[in-house]
Amino acid sequence: MADDQMMSQMSQKPGFIAALDQSGGSTPGALRLYGIPDSAYADDQQKMFRLIHEFRVRIMTAPAFTGAKVIGAILFEGTMDGEVRGKPTPSYLWEDRGVVPFVKVDRGLEPERDGVQLMRPMPQLDELCERAVRLGVFGTKMRSVINLANREGIAAIAAQQFEIADQIARHGLMPILEPEVSIKSPDKKGAEAILFDELKKRTDALPVGRQVMFKLTLPDVPDLYRPLAEHPRCARVVALSGGYSRAEACRKLAANHGMIASFSRALVQDLRVGMSDAEFEAALAQSIDEIYNASTAKT
């Protein structure tokens, strides 16, 4: 069955997850990095999302973007509902490229309180999960942010992530929990230590047979999250680039055993809209190789 094959790939296969899930707030920055200015679409959100979809299609159809090294891809909801070469995006990824599809489900962040930003309410979550299941999506991803080493705030972040993960798991989907520690935090190391304790405690309490995945900021202390990566109730721990350059993110990732990449900006930082197909594909292939090596060859 496809779900069993996807589960095996996500929990065991060497490689990394591509994060192609920029939403409305982050899409303009992604397009600017690609070489498309805001003036190209002005206030036309429909055109903006069409342009970012074209960019993502260019990535997903490139020769190097296959399950040989890119074992999964996180999609924006609109990308999940769209098509690639005449097929629904999740079907194209899995059937044509061997890449396991995920979808971003959160609706952005609440204002900061107790040094953290919780996720906004998600009244649409059950409907989105049902649609994702119908389209052949394997799992979901949801992001919240930790700015300060505040134990009360970080405990609230973990509680919310696990509560919503339980709701998602009831649909048969694999939840990726992403409590991001800002790389600008004045006590990033302290925040990560508190976060690890909260995640470990709640992972220990998961029912037998239930698994989650984590997407975490590359830690200041190498291998901090290794006990989670080796936990029987954790399918995989992946790393976000979090604003680090690809070179820096790969260097840090290589020092963390059991952790693979799920990079967004670091994956596409060298890609430009004006490149020829050959130039684009060569730049993407080099990026994929660098991230794959950091995910699989540890120091």
How is residue 219 annotated by DSSP? P
Question: Choosing from 69, 188, 215, 252, which is the catalytic residue?
Answer: 215
Residue 119's φ and ψ, nearest 5 degrees, are -80, 145
Q: State residue 104 phi and psi, 5-degree precision.
A: -75, 130
Rounded to 5 degrees, what angle do the CA atoms 46, 49, 55 make? Answer: 145
Distance CA 1, CA 142 (A): 26
Cα–Cα distance between 244 and 254 in angstroms, integer?
Answer: 14
CB 120 within 8 A of CB 108: yes
Q: Which residues pair with 119 in a beta bridge?
A: 109
Active site residue 189: no
CA distance 9 to 130: 23
Which residue is listed with tokens 């992972």? 203
Compute the distance between CA of residue 120 and CA of residue 71 in angstroms, rounded to an integer.
29
| Residue located via tokens 């679409």 | 41
178 classed as catalytic:
yes
Catalytic residue among 69, 104, 141, 178, which? 178
Read off φ and ψ for residue 141, nearest 5 degrees: -145, 140
Q: Which residues are catalytic?
A: 178, 215
